[in-house]
C-alpha cells in the first residue's frame, strides 16, 4: 500500500510570547524575549529566579470552571492550544473511528503531584483528592482531548523528555501514512514552573542565572550563554491525509514529509559531544523525505542556550550539511520563548511552518557574539525575508532521545 501524504490543516499555540498563531508569530519575529522574573512561586532562594511564563492565562475561556478545577495546568494549556488548532482547521463532521490523538509531554502533572503530596503530609490520606491520579498522569491530556472532540481512533502519549512532542507529531504522521487514521490531533504541552522542578534543574546547574537581565538570559549559540531558561506552553496541529483534506476542501499550511528519530546512547543528560545521535536523526528525516541536505532552506534548532548542547547541535548540522552548513539558515526560537520542554518540538515545528507561510526566518535573539565553535548563520537578532520551501525542526531530550521533522511548502501535484 502506498503511504498516504500528510498535510497540516490547523495549528494552535499557547506560549510565553503569545496565544494563537499570529500573535505567536509576531512574538518570535519581534526580536524580543518573553523571559522575566518568576511570578508563580517565590523563587528568591533559588540560584535561578527567571522563567518564560504564560502570563494572564485564563483556562475558563476554554473549559467549564468545574473542569478547570479537575485539570492540571498542563492539561489546561493543551485544551487551549488544541481548541485553537481545531478551530483553525475548520473541522465540523469527522469520522470518530478514523480520528485520533497523539500528545507529547516530558513530565505531565507535576503541579498536581506536589499539591496533593503536601495535602497528604499536612492533612492526612483522607483529604487527598479523588481526582489526584486522573489529574496527574501524563496520558490524561490525550484522554481529555479525545473526550472533548469525540476522537475514537489511535490515542497515545509520548514521553521522551524535550523530544516528546517532536516524537508525538512524527508518530501521528506515521499513523496517517500507514492508514490507521485519516486525522490526528497532535502536539505537546508542559507546565512545570514549580519549586521542585527549579530545585532539580538548579542542582544540575542547567539553567541560566542571569537574573538581573532576564530578557537576555536565553541566548543560544552566544559566547555568554550559561544555561537554558524554563518555559511553559502548548502547541497542537491538525494532521490529515491529503485525500481527507481535499475531500473537505481544507486549506493546507504545509506537508509533513520527513521524520527521523535516534538515541545518543551516551549519557543521561549530556548530548554526545560530536552530535552523533542528532546527526543520525537528521539524516533519517532526510532519507524519509527523499531529500538531500541541500534541499533544506531553514533549520529550527533545538538550541537551548546550554554550552554543550548548542555546540553538539552545531557539529551535527555541519556533519549532515557539510559545505552547505554555512549557507543554510539556522535559528533557535527558544531565545524568545524559553525552553518549553516537552512542548518545544510542537511549538517550534509550528514556528517553522509559519516561516514557510510568511517567507521569513525567525531570529535567534540575544546572539551578540557567537562562540568560536558556533559559526553558522543563526539569523542573529532580526527576522529576515528568505525563500523557504523546506524546513527541518529538531527536538532533543535528556536520555539522548532525538526527533527531527521535515515540512515542505505544499504542492498539489507533488509525488
* Residues that are catalytic: 162, 302, 339
What is the C-alpha separation between 76 and 345, in angstroms, rounded? 19
Residue 112 main-chain phi, psi, to 5 deg: -65, -40
What is the C-alpha separation between 79 and 123, in angstroms, rounded? 31
Helix (H), strand (E) at residue 396: strand 390-397
Q: How distant, in Å, are the alpha carbons of 16, 66, 102, 348, 356 from that of 253? A: 23, 35, 20, 15, 9
In this structure, the number of other CB atoms found within 10 A of the CB of residue 38 comes to 22
Grid cell digits, residue 360: 521569513
Q: Are strands 183-190 and 233-241 parallel, antiparallel or unpaired?
A: antiparallel
The DSSP string of 183-233 is EEEEEEEE---SHHHHHHHHHTT-B---TTSGGGT--TTBTT---B-BB-E
Amino acid at each position: 500500500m502506498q503511504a498516504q501524504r500528510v498535510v497540516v490543516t490547523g495549528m494552535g499555540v499557547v506560549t510565553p510570547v503569545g496565544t494563537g498563531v499570529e500573535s505567536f508569530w509576531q512574538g518570535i519575529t519581534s526580536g524580543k524575549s518573553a523571559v522575566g522574573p518568576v511570578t508563580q512561586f517565590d523563587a528568591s532562594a533559588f540560584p535561578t529566579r527567571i522563567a518564560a511564563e504564560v502570563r494572564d492565562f485564563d483556562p475558563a475561556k476554554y473549559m467549564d470552571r468545574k473542569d478547570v478545577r479537575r485539570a492540571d495546568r498542563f492539561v489546561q494549556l493543551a485544551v487551549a492550544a488544541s481548541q485553537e488548532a481545531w478551530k483553525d482547521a475548520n473541522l465540523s463532521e469527522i469520522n470518530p473511528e478514523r480520528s485520533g490523538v497523539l500528545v507529547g509531554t516530558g513530565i505531565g502533572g507535576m503541579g498536581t503531584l506536589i499539591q496533593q503530596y503536601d495535602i497528604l503530609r499536612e492533612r492526612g490520606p483522607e483529604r487527598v483528592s479523588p481526582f489526584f491520579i486522573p489529574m496527574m498522569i501524563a496520558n490524561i491530556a490525550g484522554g481529555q482531548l479525545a473526550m472533548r472532540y469525540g476522537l475514537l481512533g489511535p490515542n497515545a502519549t509520548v514521553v521522551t523528555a524535550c523530544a516528546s512532542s517532536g516524537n508525538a507529531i512524527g508518530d501521528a504522521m506515521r499513523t496517517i501514512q500507514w492508514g490507521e487514521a485519516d486525522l490526528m490531533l497532535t502536539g505537546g504541552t508542559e507546565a512545570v514552573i514549580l519549586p521542585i522542578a527549579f530545585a532539580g534543574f538548579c542542582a544540575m546547574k542547567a539553567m541560566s542565572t542571569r537574573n538581573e537581565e532576564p530578557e537576555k538570559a536565553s541566548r543560544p549559540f552566544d559566547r555568554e550563554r550559561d544555561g537554558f531558561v524554563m518555559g511553559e506552553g502548548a502547541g497542537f496541529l491538525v494532521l490529515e491525509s491529503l485525500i481527507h483534506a481535499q475531500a473537505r476542501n481544507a486549506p493546507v499550511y504545509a506537508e509533513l514529509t520527513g521524520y527521523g528519530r535516534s538515541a545518543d546512547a551516551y549519557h543521561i543528560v549530556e548530548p554526545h559531544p560530536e552530535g552523533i545521535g542528532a546527526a543520525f536523526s537528521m539524516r533519517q528525516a532526510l532519507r524519509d523525505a527523499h531529500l538531500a541536505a541541500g534541499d533544506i532552506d531553514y533549520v529550527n534548532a533545538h538550541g537551548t542556550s546550554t554550552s554543550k548542547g548548542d555546540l553538539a547541535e552545531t557539529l551535527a548540522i555541519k556533519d549532515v550539511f557539510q559545505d552547505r552548513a554555512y549557507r543554510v539558515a539556522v535559528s533557535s526560537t527558544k531565545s524568545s520563548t524559553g525552553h518549553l520542554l516537552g512542548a518545544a518540538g510542537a511549538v517550534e515545528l509550528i514556528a517553522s511552518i509559519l516561516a514557510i507561510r510568511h517567507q521569513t526566518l525567525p531570529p535567534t535573539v540575544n546572539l551578540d557574539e557567537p562562540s568560536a565553535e558556533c559559526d553558522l548563520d543563526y539569523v542573529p537578532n532580526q527576522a529576515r525575508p528568505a525563500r523557504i520551501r523546506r524546513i527541518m525542526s529538531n527536538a532533543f531530550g535528556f536520555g539522548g532521545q532525538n526527533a527531527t521533522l521535515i515540512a515542505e511548502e505544499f504542492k498539489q501535484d507533488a509525488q
